[in-house]
Chain A
């Protein structure tokens, strides 16, 4: 007996997706090229700027920042100095700066887009019910999949890396902003409204300040996720520590792979502790 399930023709979802992609790339190629060129040149100049600063000055600056951000404790500052000196010693400084640029761009753009979207979600049930499945989709889809449209839109290099990183890392900022605003006690919202606040007065005087620490926790997550995309983004030609790891994997070369991986870990710990301490600053 024929399995009747086999009689149903296959839904050509893959084909449709391809068609849609082709349509977008065909019709908006100029637009994407524009973005690609501006962002690329911006990122290159940021990396150049970072590399222009002598490594030792940069290390001291980061150590001082760490010292003050952690309420004048020496722990993170000392760790930063040792860790960064190690990275420099291993000849990974330029790669590190490339990675910094990638993470920086992905995080900033994520925050700039994510916080307003989160605010809209908290204000509108409709937007929330539309955004929730999209966010679930963005977070569960393997990060590699985003590389395909990224390459189609922006070719290879840093920019598609940033694009893929944003899609992968933006959900926590959106979710935590939404959550943070919803968690503001009802009485405080009522207090604000009872004095005749407009929507934006309420948002900027009460909701955002009180949601700040939750939003910062979301941003911290976003930064960490952007960092985790570094290795994946290197598959489409984004320079940095990730590329070193990828090369080592492709050659089954354990030593350099371990060293570059360790560099990523050190960088991750430093920025994680730094972003967390910004959050804790005001208790």
Chain B
């Protein structure tokens, strides 16, 4: 089910809004428009849909408009144009009271610098959304304590935000949003202010939490690694425009333009690419049918020193090297079957490259990639190393 639908939403700050929008249509850049009209284009013509239970990451560098875009969703910033549907209702046309109702019950937010009220205790902070909604004192205390307990922070409920570490404060920020029990959580650079170790921990927690809670999460970040780690889908923004939306793999393997390409250059591919992404088409023979001559011929054709033995039903039987085939021919075998080496390493197709690496480095032979019990492809040491070093566009062409 589509939870959030954003249609052609734009935000221009300053005056001469219409003129600025025209200039964007003409393809002028953000800085040119600022010079010509004095207006800043925050977001231009953004459209996307977010499904229920999805983590949708909006990624971009500072000034790309990602924080503006997320604030348009709950109208902390008023959109200049476009429609925003949450659960089918057009938020952009709501009056103040309807909007408050949406904010109270459907959409909550987690902030980069935690947004905790320094003069209130952790418990009071967690209760805030419920209090604003008019939930009776006793009930909101129970709910807030439950949320804190889930976050492992119940012991700290009477402390003040300053007394907690950054990671703990952000857990409170998240608990506050979850205590309200809304379906949608907006997270604006929620982990960006945390140090790298804590950040990774929080990412893991979020993923785990998401498995239990099934919230719809819009997550803003400037860190592509973070986006790839937690995002079901990623939207990449530049100068207020969304330039690509897709899964992490889509973006790595088919970057929409040079900008995205420059982004993914620094990515640790081993953490994103799977065996399937880099495997090559195997050269196969059917040992039940083919004899050693056929095998040698295939090797010559394809210029390889090894072929995989596969049954009619594409089941993997093993592999045959050139030496095996020659020996087989000398022994006068008609069929290859007795000469097949049955010991072969296999990996599942969705195994991350980082886990493939140790397997392939220990394996004297190529590694077969299996999908649903069938042979899908083969990994050769050279290919794997190439994939780690290569431009992604070339990796893509290997498919």
Name A residues whose Cβ lies closer than 8 Å to a Cβ of B: 185, 187-188, 190-198, 201, 205-206, 209-210
For this complex, 26 residue pairs linking A to B, each with C-beta atoms less than 8 Å apart, are A185-B113, A187-B112, A190-B71, A190-B76, A190-B109, A190-B115, A192-B128, A193-B103, A194-B74, A194-B76, A194-B107, A194-B109, A194-B186, A195-B103, A195-B128, A195-B133, A196-B99, A196-B101, A196-B129, A196-B133, A198-B100, A201-B132, A205-B128, A205-B131, A210-B117, A210-B119
CA distance A198 to B132 in the complex (A): 8
Note all chain B residues with C-beta closer than 8 A to A210. 117-119
Chain A residues contacting B186 (CB-CB under 8 Å) are: 194
Which one of B100, B111, B113, B117 lies within 8 Å of A196 (CB-CB)?
A: B100
B108 CB-CB contact with A under 8 Å: yes
CB closest residue in chain B, given A197: B132
Query: Which residues of B are found within 8 Å of A206, using beta-carbon distances?
Result: 117
Cα distance, A206 to B133, chains bound together (Å)? 15
Inter-chain contacts of B103 with A (CB < 8 A): 193-196
Which residues in B have their C-beta under 8 angstroms from that of A188?
A: 115, 117
Instruction: State whether B117 touches A187 (Cβ < 8 A).
Output: no
A209, B119: Cβ atoms under 8 Å?
Answer: yes
B397 to chain A, nearest CB (A): 45
Given contacts A190-B111, A193-B76, A210-B118, 6 further A-B contacts (CB under 8 A): A190-B71, A194-B107, A195-B103, A196-B105, A201-B132, A209-B117
Taken together as a complex, chains A and B put the C-alpha atoms of A198 and B108 apart, in Å, by 15
B381 on interface, CB distance cutoff 8 Å: no
Give CA–CA (A209, B71) in the complex, Å.
Answer: 25
A195 touches B132 (CB 8 A): yes
**Total A-B residue contacts, Cβ distance less than 8 Å:** 63
Contact B115 A187 (CB under 8 A): yes
Residues of B within 8 A of A201 (CB): 132
| Those 9 A-B pairs whose CB atoms lie nearest each other, nearest first | A191-B115, A196-B104, A196-B103, A194-B109, A195-B129, A196-B100, A209-B119, A187-B115, A197-B132
Whole-angstrom distance between the Cβ of A212 and the nearest chain B Cβ = 8
A210 to B74, CA, bound (A): 24
Question: Which residues of chain A are within 8 angstroms of B118 by Cβ–Cβ distance?
Answer: 210
Taking CB atoms, residues of chain B closer than 8 Å to A205 are 117, 128, 131-132
A188–B105 alpha-carbon span in the complex (Å) = 19
Any chain A CB within 8 A of the CB of B169? no
Residue in B99, B100, B117, B119 whose beta carbon sits within 8 Å of that of A191 in the complex? B117
Judge whether B101 and A187 touch: CB under 8 Å: no
Q: Is there an interface contact between A195 and B104, defined as CB atoms closer than 8 Å?
A: yes
Q: How far is the CA of A210 from the CA of B128 in the complex (A)?
A: 15
Cβ-based interface call for B64 (8 A): no
By a CB distance below 8 angstroms, the chain A residues around B99 are 196
B286: interface (CB < 8 Å):
no
Docked complex: B80-118 residues within 8 A CB-CB of A: 99-105, 107-109, 111-113, 115-118
